Amino acid sequence: MKVSKRIEGLTGGGSDGWDIWRKAREMKAAGLDVIELTIGEHDRRTEPAILDAMHASARGGHTGYAALPGTNELRDAVARRVARRTGVKTTRDNVLVTPGGQAALFAAHCAACDPGDSALYIDPYYATYPGTIRGTGAVAVPVQARAERGFQPDPADIAARAEGARSLLINSPNNPTGVVYTHETLTGIATLATERELWLISDEVYDTQVWEGDHLSPRQLPGMETRTLVIGSLSKSHAMTGSRLGWIVGPEEAIDHLANLSTHTTYGVPGFIQDAGLFALEQGQGLEDRIGEPFRRRHRDVQDRLRFRGVPVVPSGGAMYLMLDIRATGLSGEAFAHRLLDEHRIAVMPGESFGTAAAGHLRVALTVADERLLSAVDTLADLYDQLTEAAA
Ligand code: PLP
């Protein structure tokens, strides 16, 4: 039997960008010692106290079908957190709890777009974006954030592709670049979204990982509350990637419809996971800071080391990644990443895995212990030197 064109074409026909990651996993499975600087997964596990809360909730009987838009307590906690961080009045009616940010991204595009509508997203992008959009039946339209603009999207470039579009997906702090969008960038995007009647889908799953400057949610800009769907998650902020707990914050009417969509898709999030998430949020900023701290430190130390070694690093203010510009080697990001893995057993993601705008770049995830990370970065810098000399 033939499957639908929609799921057959999910990855657009080409590589899904995860070749290096798969190869590294195969090498590891074969017993080789590979340093993996690929995916955004913490090198620490979920806090024992959060697991205790999860266990207590499950043992207490919260194992049946759970409240579908989310439990009132968790929705209230998310709403309080968003209101505190942004100053925008937010209640539980603005919150839908989802199985992770990924499910939230899919649902948000279902809410914003009809099949065949154009949905804009910024390239370089988190690897699932185009497939997520295609999965909803919308047409995924990339807009490049150019390297020479420090990967800040230009509203004029977005406007040039906005004809007939219904939504625009942005992500700050950004994966893969680590770039935090400036106030000017976000204001320009908000103005454009208003003029072109676009839903703005703002992926803020790295909102606790801002190392320079402040996080600004576009929902707090004038007039944006009614057209913004914010994607949130405890994956990165609380090292809870495997718990699959996220949310959408948006206008009440959209959230009502999205709850209806949840009934017909995910059927919500297990009650004991929601209770663990509530416990995690109740620990406040202190826990978020502790989980973010290693990335803040590594972001600074790895940048310093690479600059000292003369490897160009894309200036960035957040997230658990750094992006390196290796164009001077004459190699593509992909070719460089394969050499680094084959010759030195270090896995990093090629910029090409995240679209076309970051070609000739590498994304390094800061997700292994400091010493091992710095030694891997030194090896990478050695290869960079060797290749640039050969290219000169
Ligand atoms: N959005 C971005 C930008 C991400 O980097 C990720 C995961 O890496 C997600 C969404 C998905 O996060 P979650 O684990 O909450 O589904």
| Banded model confidence at residue 9, pLDDT cuts 50, 70, 90 | confident
Both 311 and 347 in one domain: the answer is: yes
Rama region for 388: left / alpha / beta (φ>0; ψ in -120 to 50; rest): alpha
Over residues 350-367, mean pLDDT = 96
- Domain tally, the chain: 2
Q: Please check whether residue 59 lies inside any domain of the structure.
A: no
**Which domain CATH number covers 360?**
3.90.1150.10
The pick from 235, 241, 248, 269 for probing ligand 1's pocket by mutation, whose C-beta has the most ligand atoms within 8 angstroms, reads 235
Q: Give yes or no for residue 101 CB within 6 A of ligand 1.
A: yes
Whole-number Å distance between alpha carbons of 228 and 256? 15
Q: How far away, in angstroms, is 109 Cα from ligand 1 center?
A: 15
The model's pLDDT over 211-244, given as tens digits with 9 standing for 90+, comes to 998 899 999 999 999 999 999 999 999 999 999 9
Which atom of ligand 1 sits closest to the CA of residue 233?
A: 15
Q: Give yes or no for residue 233 CB within 6 A of ligand 1.
A: yes
Q: How far away, in angstroms, is 374 Cα from ligand 1 center?
A: 25
| Banded model confidence at residue 261, pLDDT cuts 50, 70, 90 | very high
Q: How far away, in angstroms, is 40 Cα from ligand 1 center?
A: 8
Residue 367: per-residue pLDDT? 97
Instruction: Give the contacts of 349 (CB within 8 A, at least 6 positions apart).
Output: 17, 20, 21, 37, 38, 176, 337, 362, 363, 364, 365
| Banded model confidence at residue 42, pLDDT cuts 50, 70, 90 | very high
Q: SS3 letters for the chain?
A: CCCCHHHHCCCCCCCCCCHHHHHHHHHHHCCCCCEEECCCCCCCCCCHHHHHHHHHHHHCCCCCCCCCCCCHHHHHHHHHHHHHHHCCCCCHHHEEEECHHHHHHHHHHHHHCCCCCEEEEEECCCCCHHHHHHHCCCEEEEEECCHHHCCCCCHHHHHHCCCCEEEEEEECCCCCCCCCCCHHHHHHHHHHHHHCCCEEEEECCCCCCECCCCCCCHHHCCCCCCCEEEEEECCCCCCCHHHCCEEEECCHHHHHHHHHHHHCCCCCCCHHHHHHHHHHHHCHHHHHHHHHHHHHHHHHHHHHHHHHCCCCECCCCECCEEEEECHHHCCCHHHHHHHHHHHHCEEEEEHHHHCCCCCCEEEEECCCCHHHHHHHHHHHHHHHHHHHHHHC
Q: Give yes or no for residue 132 CB within 6 A of ligand 1.
A: no
Over residues 185-205, mean pLDDT = 98
Q: Please check whether residue 390 lies inside any domain of the structure.
A: no
Over residues 112-116, mean pLDDT = 97
Both 97 and 35 in one domain: the answer is: no
Both 243 and 136 in one domain: the answer is: yes
Contact 231, 108 (CB under 8 A): yes
Over residues 99-109, mean pLDDT = 98
- Cis, bond preceding 48 (omega within 30 deg of 0): no
Q: Give yes or no for residue 176 CB within 6 A of ligand 1.
A: no
The pick from 18, 42, 175, 354 for probing ligand 1's pocket by mutation, whose C-beta has the most ligand atoms within 8 angstroms, reads 175
Residue 11: per-residue pLDDT? 81
Check pLDDT > 70 for residue 84. yes
Q: Which residue's CA is the closest to the ligand 1 atom numbered 4? A: 126
Whole-number Å distance between alpha carbons of 295 and 35? 17
| Banded model confidence at residue 14, pLDDT cuts 50, 70, 90 | low
**Which domain CATH number covers 226?**
3.40.640.10
- Specify the amino acid at residue 71: T
Both 232 and 341 in one domain: the answer is: no
Both 69 and 205 in one domain: the answer is: yes
Contact 209, 320 (CB under 8 A): yes
Residue 218: per-residue pLDDT? 98
Whole-number Å distance between alpha carbons of 206 and 142? 21
Q: Give yes or no for residue 246 CB within 6 A of ligand 1.
A: yes
Both 95 and 115 in one domain: the answer is: yes
Both 151 and 261 in one domain: the answer is: yes
Contact 162, 193 (CB under 8 A): no
Averaged pLDDT score across all residues of the chain: 96
The pick from 105, 126, 181 for probing ligand 1's pocket by mutation, whose C-beta has the most ligand atoms within 8 angstroms, reads 126
Q: Which residue's CA is the closest to the ligand 1 atom numbered 12? A: 101
The pick from 41, 109, 129, 236 for probing ligand 1's pocket by mutation, whose C-beta has the most ligand atoms within 8 angstroms, reads 236
Residue 73 C-beta-side C-alpha neighbours within 13 Å: 13
Both 88 and 75 in one domain: the answer is: yes
Residue 363: per-residue pLDDT? 97
Contact 189, 200 (CB under 8 A): yes
Nearest to 320 by CA among 300, 346, 337: 300
Both 29 and 148 in one domain: the answer is: no
Residue 15: per-residue pLDDT? 72
Check pLDDT > 80 for residue 161. yes
* Domain span at 72: 64-283
Whole-number Å distance between alpha carbons of 208 and 196? 30
Both 127 and 272 in one domain: the answer is: yes
Residue 18: per-residue pLDDT? 85
Q: Which residue's CA is the closest to the ligand 1 atom numbered 7? A: 40
Q: How far away, in angstroms, is 36 Cα from ligand 1 center?
A: 18
pTM above 0.85, yes or no: yes
Both 269 and 347 in one domain: the answer is: no
Both 331 and 268 in one domain: the answer is: no
The model's pLDDT over 277-286, given as tens digits with 9 standing for 90+, comes to 999 999 999 9
Residue showing tokens 């992008």: 125
The pick from 21, 96, 102 for probing ligand 1's pocket by mutation, whose C-beta has the most ligand atoms within 8 angstroms, reads 102
Over residues 165-187, mean pLDDT = 97
From residue 136, give the alpha-carbon distance in Å to each of 10, 229, 342, 365: 10, 16, 38, 29
